[in-house]
Amino acid sequence: MQNLLGLSHNATLLFWTLLVIVFLVMLIARYKWNPFVTLLLSALVLGLLAGMEYQTLIKSVTGGLGGTLGTIAIVIGLGTMLGKMMAESGGAERIANTLVDRFGEKNVHWAMMLVGFVVGIPVFFEVGVILLIPVVFMVARKTKMPLLQIGIPILAGLSTVHGLVPPHPAPMIAIGAYNANLGKTILYSILVGLPTAIIAGPLFGKFIGKRIQVTPPTELAEQFAAKSVRELPGFAITLLTILLPVILMLMGSVADILDPSGVHAFTPFAKFIGHEVIALLIAAVFSFFSLGFARGFKKEDISRFTSECLAPTASIILIIGGGGAFKQVLIDSGVGGAIAAVATQSHVNIIFFAWLVAALIRVATGSATVAMTTAAGIVAPVLAISTGVNIELVVLATGAGSLVLSHVNDAGFWMIKEFFGMSVVQTLKTWTVMETLLSVVGLVFIMILSVFV
């Protein structure tokens, strides 16, 4: 087939990838096929077209699905329990009331962006979404504002710090690969990240929220809705409960930075309780007491809450797993390498080059972490022979590129689609555009900053 098309191996891989992605979007958006089935089918078709061996393809699909869900399934389960306890106790309503009172209904979307930015610093994007989705639903319900006007700012805050701000794993990998200064990178990431999150969050959220009206899935909306409680819990204990996993993860990250070799006995323990699964487990159990028994609920009530909240997440978990399978086939079939090869052949500004490499790999693989990690390996040798370049800004450019154009091969795409009850087309017009804004606007601010530092 390659000879018939007259294309190189890399060009052929890119052609098949584009064809399969169009096929995937058409089946889901036009013909309403189940996304999980369609993702698995698309992964198999791409693998076969790319010439993968049958057994290798099966291992790639199952490995990608299992590898993606290995942590995310646990995170979603525990995070949903924590969100359920916030809803049943009135904790989500308490946070919503406080934010609305302090910022006013007209400005609450600005508060949402700041909440996402702060909560997202030590946690993975998926964890932050799970923690904050009850607050999004509750604030939207109380203020009567469009759901996306509340949700997009939180997503922008979470996604910005995921790609740009240490101690997230991806920026830390790039810092290590480029031998960048951690303190300078953190400073520059905040200078670039905050205005970028503002543009892609509150400003874009207000614009798109008025044009695309969505409602969350009924089951999710109901389980995260305000319940009939005698008295709302205090703001302090509610905030402590929702931030507990954030605090624990931050402890683990700080301990790892201050003592990377683990000389002190406390460091392994801090990293253990700072792992997202352990941190969320501790927080979920803590919520049984702080928002459960302390609010007068019986053990039977808490058992019922934590069981019934899991049912609505089943389809979400499967779809995310399907996205992981598709992503892994893209990587194992050589598509990621083809993208990297195309980018490496270009001769451009090193900051833009880092952004471009990460962006192309992100589009191909769907993973910001994979894009940043792979791009760091490609860019590092080029950076080593370059002079007069601000290394910390190259780290940020790599991170900004890793956020671009999230689409159907990204597990996060499907998570946002399902939680916000959007169609594929609506998710492309909202979430995908927001991620692309973060990436492009971030690059613009990085280029501007490069003039001064």
- Evaluate if residue 439 carries a pLDDT over 90: yes
422 vs 162: CA distance, rounded Å? 23
**Band of pLDDT at residue 123, cut at 50, 70 and 90:** low
257 vs 216: CA distance, rounded Å? 39
- Evaluate if residue 4 carries a pLDDT over 50: no
Residue-level pLDDT at 53: 93
Residue-level pLDDT at 434: 93
Residue-level pLDDT at 267: 87
- Evaluate if residue 58 carries a pLDDT over 80: yes
- Mean pLDDT (the chain, rounded): 81
DSSP letter assigned to residue 228: -
Q: What is the DSSP string of 127-166?
A: HHHHHHHHHHHHHHHHH---HHHHHHHHHHHHHHHHHHST
Residue-level pLDDT at 79: 77
Higher pLDDT, 7 or 450: 450
351 vs 367: CA distance, rounded Å? 20
Higher pLDDT, 203 or 324: 203
Query: pLDDT, tens digit, for every residue of 165-213?
Result: 876 666 777 777 788 877 788 788 889 989 999 999 899 988 988 888 8
**Band of pLDDT at residue 444, cut at 50, 70 and 90:** very high
- Evaluate if residue 3 carries a pLDDT over 50: no
**Band of pLDDT at residue 339, cut at 50, 70 and 90:** low
**Band of pLDDT at residue 121, cut at 50, 70 and 90:** low
Q: What is the DSSP string of 272-302?
A: HHHSHHHHHHHHHHHHHHHTTGGGT--HHHH
User: What pTM was computed for the model?
Assistant: 0.68
36 vs 39: CA distance, rounded Å? 5
Given the structure tokens 């003592």, which residue do they identify? Answer: 259
Residue-level pLDDT at 341: 67
- Evaluate if residue 433 carries a pLDDT over 90: yes
Query: pLDDT, tens digit, for every residue of 204-255?
Result: 988 988 888 887 776 666 666 555 555 788 888 888 887 888 788 778 878 8
Higher pLDDT, 15 or 411: 15
Higher pLDDT, 287 or 421: 287
Contact 334, 14 (CB under 8 A): no
**Band of pLDDT at residue 153, cut at 50, 70 and 90:** very high
Residue-level pLDDT at 345: 66
Higher pLDDT, 125 or 266: 266
418 vs 295: CA distance, rounded Å? 31
**Band of pLDDT at residue 75, cut at 50, 70 and 90:** confident
DSSP letter assigned to residue 421: T
**Band of pLDDT at residue 70, cut at 50, 70 and 90:** confident
Q: Which two tokens stand for residue 242?
A: 């929702």
**Band of pLDDT at residue 370, cut at 50, 70 and 90:** low
Residue-level pLDDT at 44: 93
Residue-level pLDDT at 228: 53
Percent of the chain clearing pLDDT 90 (strictly above): 15
